[in-house]
């Protein structure tokens, strides 16, 4: 086991298997010693950052170079607002000229995202759902995620909220919340007729819910809106979405026919699946937005 | 292209929607075990269906597009299915199933019970998003599912709930956001100069631009933006710094999924873009291939150098992933079909091997009561022989010993390099040799360490840890899959070749 | 140069993208990092929306019953941007939740400092 | 599009860039979030000029509404309100 064994002796003992431990030990210990090196290297970056003038100058320089390259690209691009630009091709034309006939929506954007390119939009509502689940996982209070200081702070907030110090603000918010929610519902229901749709309307409803919760305290909100309601509404809406789209993708791809009646363009009950889908998206978004707010403030819905 | 579709052709669409459906419905299941069963059933079903699809498309030698909705190509979304895509779907299902089967004990141990079902939502979403990225024929759909994958994979990292895991997630998320931001900017400029979003139409547009020479600089920047974006997301060498922090801080099961599959999903998208949008020739003409080649070679060497310096096993495996991603980008950067083939095979070999290594590493750390320094893992293989054997197999495969998967991909890289001349040939062969030596330098000591009985507490250390039957099953299957890739690789290569040919035919 | 003035929206959006990207990459403070992320995303959307605009045409919602492709602007960018905005608000919420947790554990918003603290703890 | 409208749009664009730079250089987090809120509102107006009312509504509701609320909640939780300087 001396250090100065020849290579062949060590190989032989390695094959025999009797001195593996010593060699492995040596290996590990040399590697242990080397391990400090990358840490010191990483510190130099921090030292660079602490030297703030140099660091700032470097940041600005990199930004300027990046922007210069990108501006060079922009110079080449088609002119802004040019009707002959390549983006105004047959794809957009069909959306505009046959959109009403094929989707029934007079808001061409709604027709495009909820019918022609509905797969993207399906992915998009899933992103939202994943985000609210991720935030739930992060902020919902469990045994790995509690601290006494935070409890105390929240108790103080509650006392502060229950005082009537912001009476005018609270009364105002109470009056305003229903109006905001109503406007949101209008935007959702008219998604296929006017600007807006599930997403924007849903965020407006969500903002209304946040206002209501801020004015009346989360306790009152919890009487009718808990985490259970949130997940149930979201899951039900997404499942409806999933079902509707599976139906139309399946029938469309297999040329089955059985199309959904489109109704009279311009009427509120028209354009096939677009209205129910807008309602689903709107509900999911409203729940999500309120869920974010509640989890951020209290760590629970 | 009017195709008569039968039920088998609906499998890709069904797979994506069923995976997302299971993800959506899981919050209603409060019990983590039930959620795990649903997940396992879903992956098995989709895996089986993908095998059926694979057999069907290879026998008929066909590739088809599947309309997502009532509207054909430039107007509606589409999926594209060919032998290569079906094979990738099978790979994703197999690796997902085996990793979760082998690593589910750790999931139930590390995550608080009320949040276990949330973890499986994220797993289902990850699976669905990876399938969608494999099958998609639309660049914007690709972007949306990249974002789903970003959020879902970050949640897989933070699920452990410790503060280190949160730091790791933040680091990973910042890099992920940079990557997807650059990718999105690339997509936007590409839309601005071709006016299309579906792969075949963009391909026509790009071909026209290359022929006329218009927007040459813009096209170069677009391609670099998109590949740098995907490179950042798949931890290509200079952008890898988030990887060790993230993998070092989280559960090995999550690391196995992330390293084995999620990184590969971005690479799959990069390979699809190379074949179906830009073509290999365009990449070579725009000099992007050279850049990828150089970064890949650097990654191969530097990743291994970092790994040699590392004494914690999880971080060592993370750096090893950086090196292996370097191999894949080097293969793409060779700018030849043979190079792409080698890169594709390496995606398979690395996915299978690295997830196995992470699952074994998890079992070792578990037996050592959570300590992950290499010295604490001494004798780990005696406590858990099956994991020890699997780890050894994985290490040998990583080094590139014949009979195992890693050898075949290195063989194909070398073959692809022999088509090249001059500097490239030398560089590839040198990088392969150096990287193999470095791989041996960090994998062999860990193998030796885990098979070494510690002297001081000779009896306590050799005590057998209890292994669940599911873990044993997963290990055996992992080893079998590795050997299948290492010995019976011919049919797989043939399917890949067929897939690549079919993609190139449909210009 | 005159091109940059006609393409002023695109020019502005790449400048904003650059600023946002560098904030995300180089700012130490996490909140400003994620504001940078938002600026970067909106810049991309501005670029896309500018690509869809055509002089003298109106928003893609049926007005006065006119069905004519030369009357409305291109609806595709608007749809894509709508999808994109949803994605970026999700990512923002997620990242801010991460910031809250980090602050709870490390009492700091500085990413470098947090990484250093983590390394020191691991080193012990 | 009239010259006047183009002029207004250019001014808005300059405001956008100015507020983005402002966010980057300010050391006060509260100020940064307020400026970012202004940035989102200007962006909503820009989208009206680009004939995309859908986007304008969404940006106003999300960028200037929900995002800002989330940023403020975060600032409150990390005790960065009341003009605290960043650490």
pLDDT digits (tens, 9 = 90+) for B35-83: 999 999 999 999 999 999 999 999 988 888 888 888 887 888 889 999 9
How do residues B290-306 score in pLDDT, each as one tens digit?
999 999 999 999 999 99
- Band of pLDDT at residue A80, cut at 50, 70 and 90: confident
Interval B338-381: pLDDT, tens: 999 999 999 999 999 999 999 999 888 888 877 778 777 888 88
Q: Which of D50, D63, D71 sits opposite C53 (nearest CB)?
A: D50
The pLDDT of residue A49: 57
How many beta-carbon contacts under 8 Å exist across A and D?
A: 45
The pLDDT value recorded for residue A28 is 38
Taking residue D10's Cβ as centre, other Cβ atoms within 10 Å add up to 14
Judge whether residue D9 has pLDDT over 70: yes
What is the C-alpha separation between B234 and B265, in angstroms, rounded?
Answer: 8
Model confidence at A184, in pLDDT bands (50, 70, 90)? Answer: very high
Tokens for B380?
């780990």
| Least confident span in A140-144, B489-493, C90-94 | A140-144
Structure tokens at B356: 């196995």
Domain that holds residue C61: 2-123
Q: With a cut of 70, say whether residue A20 has pLDDT above it.
A: no
Which chain D residues contact residue C78 at CB under 8 A? 52, 54-55
Over residues B268-279, mean pLDDT: 90
Lowest mean pLDDT across A158-167, B118-127, B393-402? A158-167
Q: Confirm if C23 and C38 have CB atoms less than 8 A apart.
A: no
| Neighbouring residues of B94: CB distance < 8 A, sequence distance ≥ 6 | B47, B352, B481
Task: Please state the separation of Cα B408 from the chain's center in Å.
Answer: 17
Beta-bridge partner residues of C54: A81
Res B449 pLDDT > 90 = no
What percentage of chain A exceeds 70 in pLDDT? 80
Percent of chain B with pLDDT over 70: 97
Tell me which chain B residue has its CA closest to the CA of residue C104: B163
Which of B203, B202, B271 minimizes the C-alpha distance to B234? B271
Residue A296 predicted with pLDDT over 80: yes
- DSSP states of B3-68 as a string? ----GGGGHHHHHHHHHHHHHHHGGG---HHHHHHHHHHHHHHHHHHHHHHHHHHHHHT--EEEEE
For residues A186 and A188, give the distance between their C-alpha atoms in angstroms, rounded to a whole number: 5
Q: Which element (helix H / strand E) includes D73?
A: helix D68-77
Instruction: Compute the mean pLDDT over every residue in chain B, rounded to the nearest whole number.
Output: 89
Any chain D CB within 8 A of the CB of C62?
no
The pTM assigned to this predicted structure is 0.91
The predicted pLDDT at position A37 comes to: 37
SS (H, E, C) B303-323: HHHHHHHCCEHHHHHHHHHHH
Chains B, D in contact, 3 or more Cβ pairs below 8 Å: no
Nearest residue, CB atoms, C44 vs list B164, B178, B184 = B184
A130 touches chain C (CB under 8 A): yes
- How far is B293 from C30, CA to CA, in rounded Å? 34
**Residue D49: which residues within 8 A CB-CB, separation 6 or more?**
D5, D8, D9, D12
Instruction: Give the C-alpha separation, B189 to B206, whole Å.
Output: 12
Total CB pairs under 8 A between chain B and C: 83
The per-residue pLDDT for range B161-213, each reduced to its tens digit, is 888 899 999 999 999 999 999 999 999 999 999 988 999 999 999 999 888 88
Band of residue A50 on the pLDDT scale cut at 50, 70, 90? low
**Which 8-state DSSP code applies to residue B374?**
G
What chains are in contact with A, requiring at least 3 Cβ pairs below 8 Å?
A: B, C, D
Confidence of residue C59 (pLDDT cuts 50, 70, 90): confident
In eight-state DSSP terms, residue B78 is: E
Q: Which residue has the higher pLDDT, B465 or A21?
A: B465
Q: What does the block give as tokens for C38?
A: 């938002």
C38-63 exposure pattern, b = at least 16 Cβ within 10 A, e = fewer = bbbbbbbbbbbbbbbbbeebebbbbe
Q: Which residues contact B52 (CB under 8 A, 6 or more apart)?
A: B8, B11
Please name the chains neighbouring C, where neighbouring means 3+ C-beta pairs under 8 angstroms.
A, B, D
**Which token pair is A114?**
């909820």
Q: Which residues contact C97 (CB under 8 A, 6 or more apart)?
A: A134, A135, A138, A139, A295, A296
How far does chain A reach from its first CA to its final CA, in angstroms? Answer: 65
Neighbours of chain B (3+ CB pairs under 8 A): A, C
* pLDDT attached to residue A149: 72
| A23 has pLDDT over 50 | no
Residue A19 has a pLDDT of 39
Domain parsing of chain B, residue ranges: 7-505
> Tokens for B9?
């052709």
- Output the pLDDT for position B91: 94
- What pLDDT is attached to residue B273? 92
Kindly report the nearest CA distance between residue B416 and chain A, in angstroms: 34
- pLDDT, residue B397, reads 92
How far apart (Å, rounded) are the C-alpha atoms in residues B390 and B401? 14
DSSP character at residue D65: I
Please name the member of C51, C87, C102 whose beta carbon is closest to the beta carbon of B166. Answer: C102
The reply to whether residue D43 touches residue C46, judged by beta carbons under 8 angstroms, is yes
Nearest to A85 by CA among B143, C6, B111, D9: C6
What was the pLDDT predicted at B21? 93
Highest mean pLDDT among A154-168, A251-265, B3-17: B3-17
pLDDT (average), residues B127-139: 93
**Cβ contacts (< 8 Å) between C98 and chain D: which residues?**
none
C-beta atoms of A207 and D54 within 8 A? no
Averaged pLDDT, A165-179: 85
Long-range contacts of range B500-506, CB-CB < 8 Å, 24 or more positions apart? B500/B84, B500/B275, B500/B337, B500/B340, B500/B341, B500/B344, B502/B61, B502/B62, B502/B63, B502/B82, B502/B83, B502/B84, B503/B63, B503/B82, B503/B84, B503/B275, B503/B276, B504/B275, B504/B337, B506/B63, B506/B200
* Angle, helix B313-333 to helix B288-309, in steps of 10 degrees: 160
Number of CB atoms found within 10 A of residue D65's CB: 21
pLDDT digits (tens, 9 = 90+) for B212-260: 888 889 999 999 999 999 999 998 888 888 888 889 888 889 999 999 8
Which of A233-247, B115-129, C107-121, D63-77 is predicted with the least confidence, judged by mean pLDDT? C107-121
pLDDT at B51: 94
Q: From the candidates D61, D64, D75, which should be mutated to test the interface with A, based on the most A CB atoms within 10 A? A: D61
Helix (H, G, I), strand (E, B) or coil at B198: strand
Instruction: Map A31-72 to HEC letters.
Output: HHHHCHHHHHHHHHHHHHHHCHHHHHHHHHHHHHHHHHHHHH
* Cross-strand partners of B77: B68
Q: Would you state the structure tokens that stand for residue A120, as one six-digit string?
A: 């993207």
Distance (Å, whole) CA A78 – CA B193: 7
Chains touching D by CB (3 or more pairs below 8 Å): A, C
Q: Tell me which of C35, C88, C92, C107 to substitute to probe the interface with D (most D C-beta atoms closer than 10 Å).
A: C35
Is some CB atom of chain C closer than 8 A to the CB atom of A267? no
Average pLDDT, chain C: 88
Nearest to A109 by CA among A212, A45, A203, A191: A191
State residue B371's pLDDT score. Answer: 78
Residues 137 through 196 of chain A touching chain C, CB cutoff 8 Å: 138-139, 145, 147, 150, 194-195
pLDDT tier, A42 (very low <50, low <70, confident <90, very high otherwise)? very low
How many Å apart are CA A192 and CA A272, to the nearest integer? Answer: 10
Which chain D residues are within 8 Å of A296, Cβ to Cβ? Answer: 70, 73-74, 77
Q: Which residue has the higher pLDDT, C65 or A46?
A: C65
Radius of gyration (Cα) for chain C, nearest Å? 21
Mean predicted confidence (pLDDT) in B281-288: 88
Q: What is the average pLDDT across D12-38?
A: 91
Query: Are D43 and C42 within 8 A, CB to CB?
Result: yes
Q: How confident is the model at residue A300 (pLDDT cuts 50, 70, 90)?
A: confident
**Chains D and C make contact, 3+ CB pairs within 8 Å:** yes
pLDDT of D71 > 50? The answer is: yes
Residue-wise pLDDT for C13-56, tens only, equals 999 999 998 888 888 889 999 999 999 999 999 999 998 888 88
| pLDDT category of residue B15 using cuts at 50, 70 and 90 | very high
Specify the CATH number for the domain of residue C54.
1.10.287.3510
Residue with the bigger pLDDT between A53 and B298: it is B298
């Amino acid at each position: 086991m001396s250090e100065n064994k020849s290579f062949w002796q060590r190989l032989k003992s390695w094959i025999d298997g009797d001195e593996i431990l010593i060699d492995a030990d040596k290996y590990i210990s040399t590697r242990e010693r080397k391990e400090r090196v990358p840490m010191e290297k990483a510190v130099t970056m921090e030292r660079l950052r602490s030297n703030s003038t140099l660091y700032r100058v470097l940041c600005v320089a990199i930004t300027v170079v990046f922007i210069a390259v990108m501006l060079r690209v922009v110079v080449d691009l088609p002119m802004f607002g040019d009707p002959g630009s390549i983006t105004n091709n047959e794809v957009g034309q069909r959306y505009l000229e046959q959109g009403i006939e094929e989707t029934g929506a007079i808001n061409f954007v709604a027709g495009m995202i909820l019918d022609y390119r509905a797969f993207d939009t399906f992915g998009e509502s899933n992103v939202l759902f994943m985000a609210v689940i991720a935030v739930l996982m992060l902020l919902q209070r469990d045994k790995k995620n509690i601290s006494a200081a935070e409890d105390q702070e929240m108790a103080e907030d509650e006392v502060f909220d229950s005082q009537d110090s912001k009476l005018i603000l609270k009364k105002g918010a109470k009056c305003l919340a229903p109006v905001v929610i109503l406007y949101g519902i209008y935007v959702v229901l008219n998604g296929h007729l006017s600007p807006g749709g599930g997403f924007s309307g849903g965020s407006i409803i969500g903002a209304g819910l946040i206002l209501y919760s801020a004015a009346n305290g989360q306790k009152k909100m919890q009487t009718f809106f808990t985490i259970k309601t949130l997940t149930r509404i979201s899951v039900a809406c997404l499942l409806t979405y999933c079902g509707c789209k599976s139906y139309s993708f399946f029938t469309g791809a297999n040329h089955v026919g059985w199309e959904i009646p489109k109704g009279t363009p311009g009427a509120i009950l028209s354009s096939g699946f677009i209205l129910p889908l807008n309602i689903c998206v709107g509900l999911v978004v409203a729940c999500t937005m309120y869920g974010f707010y509640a989890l951020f403030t209290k760590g629970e819905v | 292209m009017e195709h008569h579709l039968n039920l088998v052709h609906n499998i890709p669409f069904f797979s994506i929607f069923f995976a997302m459906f299971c993800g959506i419905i899981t919050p209603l299941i409060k019990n983590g075990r039930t959620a795990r069963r649903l997940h396992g059933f879903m992956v098995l079903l989709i895996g089986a269906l993908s095998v059926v699809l694979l057999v069907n498309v290879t026998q008929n030698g066909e590739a088809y597009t599947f309309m997502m909705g009532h509207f054909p190509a430039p107007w509606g979304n589409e999926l594209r299915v060919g032998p290569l895509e079906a094979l990738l779907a099978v790979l994703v299902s197999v690796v997902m199933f085996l990793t979760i089967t082998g690593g589910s004990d750790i999931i139930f141990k590390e995550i608080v019970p009320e949040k276990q079902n949330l973890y499986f939502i994220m797993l289902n979403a990850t699976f669905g998003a990876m399938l969608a990225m494999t099958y998609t024929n639309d660049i914007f759909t690709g972007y949306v599912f990249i974002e789903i994958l970003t959020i879902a994979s970050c949640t897989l990292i933070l699920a452990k709930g410790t503060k280190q895991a949160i730091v790791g997630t933040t680091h990973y998320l910042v890099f992920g956001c940079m990557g997807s931001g650059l990718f999105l900017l690339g997509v936007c400029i590409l839309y601005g100069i071709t006016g299309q979003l579906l792969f075949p139409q963009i391909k026509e547009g790009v071909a026209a631009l290359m022929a006329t020479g218009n927007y040459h600089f813009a096209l170069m920047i677009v391609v670099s933006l998109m590949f740098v974006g995907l490179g950042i997301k798949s931890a290509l060498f200079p952008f890898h710094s988030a990887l060790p922090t993230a993998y070092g801080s989280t559960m090995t099961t999550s690391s196995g999924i992330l390293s084995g599959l999620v990184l590969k999903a971005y690479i799959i998208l990069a390979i699809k873009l190379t074949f179906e949008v830009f073509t290999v020739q365009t990449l070579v003409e725009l000099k992007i291939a050279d850049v990828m080649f150089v970064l890949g070679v650097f990654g191969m060497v530097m990743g291994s150098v970092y790994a040699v310096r590392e004494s914690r096993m999880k971080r060592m495996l993370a750096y090893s992933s950086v090196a292996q991603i370097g191999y894949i980008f080097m293969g793409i950067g060779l700018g030849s079909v043979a190079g792409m083939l080698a890169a594709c095979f390496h995606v398979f070999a690395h996915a299978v091997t690295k997830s196995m290594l992470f699952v074994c590493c998890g079992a070792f750390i578990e037996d050592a009561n959570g300590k992950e320094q290499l010295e604490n893992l001494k004798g780990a293989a005696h406590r858990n022989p099956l994991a020890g054997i699997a780890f050894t197999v994985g290490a040998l495969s990583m080094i590139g010993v014949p009979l195992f998967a890693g050898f075949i991909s290195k063989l194909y890289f070398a073959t692809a390099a022999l088509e090249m001349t001059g500097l490239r040939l030398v560089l590839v062969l040198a990088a392969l040799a150096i990287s193999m030596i470095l791989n041996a330098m960090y994998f062999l000591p860990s193998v030796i360490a885990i098979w070494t009985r510690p002297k001081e507490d000779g009896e306590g250390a050799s005590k057998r840890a209890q292994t669940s039957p599911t873990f044993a099953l997963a290990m055996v299957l992992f080893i079998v899959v590795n050997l299948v890739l290492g010995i019976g690789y011919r049919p797989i290569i043939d399917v890949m070749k067929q897939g690549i040919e079919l993609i190139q035919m449909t210009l | 140069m005159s091109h940059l003035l006609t393409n002023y929206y695109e020019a502005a959006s790449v400048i904003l993208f650059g600023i946002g990207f560098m904030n995300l990459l180089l700012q130490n403070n996490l909140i400003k990092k994620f504001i940078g992320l938002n600026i970067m995303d909106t810049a991309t959307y501005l670029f896309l929306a500018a690509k869809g605009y055509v002089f003298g045409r109106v928003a893609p919602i049926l007005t006065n019953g006119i069905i004519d492709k030369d009357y409305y602007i291109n609806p595709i960018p608007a749809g894509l941007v709508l999808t994109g905005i949803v994605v970026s608000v999700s990512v923002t919420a997620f990242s801010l939740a991460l910031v809250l947790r980090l602050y709870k554990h490390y009492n700091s918003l500085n990413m470098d400092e947090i990484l250093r603290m983590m390394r020191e703890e691991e080193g012990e | 599009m009239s010259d006047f409208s183009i002029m207004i749009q250019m001014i808005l664009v300059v405001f956008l860039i100015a507020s983005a730079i402002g966010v980057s250089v300010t050391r006060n987090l509260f100020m940064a979030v307020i400026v970012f809120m202004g940035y989102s509102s200007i962006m909503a107006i820009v989208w009206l000029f680009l004939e995309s009312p859908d986007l304008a509504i969404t940006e106003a509701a999300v960028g200037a509404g929900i995002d800002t609320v989330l940023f403020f909640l975060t600032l409150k939780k990390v005790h960065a309100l009341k003009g605290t300087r960043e650490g």
